[in-house]
Each structure stands twice: as structure tokens, then as C-alpha cells.
Copies of this chain bind each other. A is one copy, B any other.
């Protein structure tokens, strides 16, 4: 079985918007998508079985049911999907993953919002820059809600770059949001800004971000610990490892 394995046939979605949260610079995408899923209590909607994803399995606190490390969560009320991942997607697998995911979009007429950080330091009181890029009807949608166009030329790489590359290649509608973020550390403030001024306007409703800002320091520490654990892991040997509270 390869592809998207929908677990909840009782959840009905009508041309939903998907917010992608793969790990990347500043972890802004993952922080934002995880935040949406928790804030709106989105339900675990589908397991993602795409070639190239690492052959591992995950479980959640208090639940014995095993799940895939990359999953879709849904909020039928808001017509919203979140793509959450417990693992990085390697560059070699990114194109394969993009093709696997986008072939499923077609069935459900999904409009994706892809998220990327752009590494840049900033002063403490400063607000991180944010701009939007797109393909198909994506650019017009960004203009409608007043998200800035980029004020410099740039390049998006990694799995999010592959997803956007695939959208350009196939000519489908997609939106990319790019937020300035600190390159070395997880950046919850940049993720909050991304949610408030980028994702919210595109979705058409406000998303509270107090949690991301109030617990910024805890999140930063938990994520740094997680990154260290993943480097220590010896992949030739089976093991379980905890994913942590703000994973």
C-alpha cells in the first residue's frame, strides 16, 4: 500500500486547504502546522505511506495505536488539513514524496500552503519579514489578502523546495510562505508571525498564537534536545526514542 491511507471516512472535506509542516530552517513550518493541529484539536485523518520516507513508526502519549511518522490531520469545520511529520524528509526522497502527495491532492482538490524559513538574524523587538510566492492561482490569492511579494530574489531548497518545484512543473495552484527566522535555533516567534500574518489571512480566520509566544523558550529547549537525540541515534540498531512534549 503506497500513498495516503485515509483512516476517517466519517470526516468530510470540501476542497480543503492543506498547511504543510515538514522540518526545515528554524522549524517554522513544523511549529506552525503542529500549532494549528493542537489549537483546533484536529483529528488524525490519514497515514502517509510514500516511498522514500524512513521505514519507522511512531506512537503518541497515552495511545497504543501505532501511526506513520508523516500524517494528515483534519478539521472538517474549518475545511482544513495539516501535514505533520516526526521525521526529516531526505533530499533524495523529496521529489518522490512530492509526486506521491500531489497525486492525492487531485482527488480532493486540495490547495496547499507550503512553509519555509529564510535564515536571518534580527533584533529582539524586530518583527520577522514575511512574503508569499505561488504558482497557478496562488499568486493572485496572495495579492488579494495583501501578503507582500518578495523584496529580493531567492531560492527554496529541501523537501519544501521539491514540493514547490513539483507544483511549478505540473502547473497546479500552490502557495509558498517564507518567513525570516533564526537559522540555528527553533524560532517560535517567527512561526507565530507566520501563522498570524500569513496562514490566518489565507484561511480567512484568525488563529490564536499566544501559546507559541508564551512558551517560546520551553519550545526552543525541547526542540534542541530532540535534534540532539536524533543525531545520537544509531540507525543500524532498533530502538524506540521519545519525541518530547513540544515535538
Contacts and interface: CB of A to CB of B under 8 A. Distances in A.
Interface of A: 1, 5, 22-25, 29, 47, 49, 54-69, 86-88, 90-91, 94-95, 98, 116-119, 131-135, 138-139, 142-143, 149-162, 164-171, 176, 178, 183, 233, 235-244, 247
A134 B62 contact: no
Contact of A155 (B86, B91, B165): B86
Q: Which of A159, A236, A240 has the most CB of B within 10 A?
A: A240
Contact of A154 (B58, B68, B116): B58
Contacts of A161: 55-57, 238
A166 to B, nearest CB: 8
A111 to B, nearest CB: 15
Q: Which of A87, A118, A235 has the most CB of B within 10 A?
A: A235
B59 A150 contact: yes
A153 B58 contact: yes
Given A90-B236, A150-B62, A152-B243, A56 B157 contact: yes
Given A153-B58, A153-B244, A168-B47, A135 B65 contact: yes
Contacts of A25: 237-240
B56 A149 contact: no
Contact of A238 (B58, B61, B158): B158
B66 A134 contact: yes
B59 A133 contact: yes
Contact of A158 (B58, B88, B239): B239
Given A153-B242, A168-B66, A158 B236 contact: yes
Q: Which of A133, A135, A178 has the most CB of B within 10 A?
A: A133
A169 B49 contact: yes
Contact of A240 (B60, B95, B156, B239): B156
Nearest to A25: B239
Contacts of A22: 238
Contacts of A169: 1, 5, 49, 68
Top 6 closest A-B pairs, CB basis?
A158-B238, A24-B238, A160-B238, A25-B239, A118-B240, A64-B139
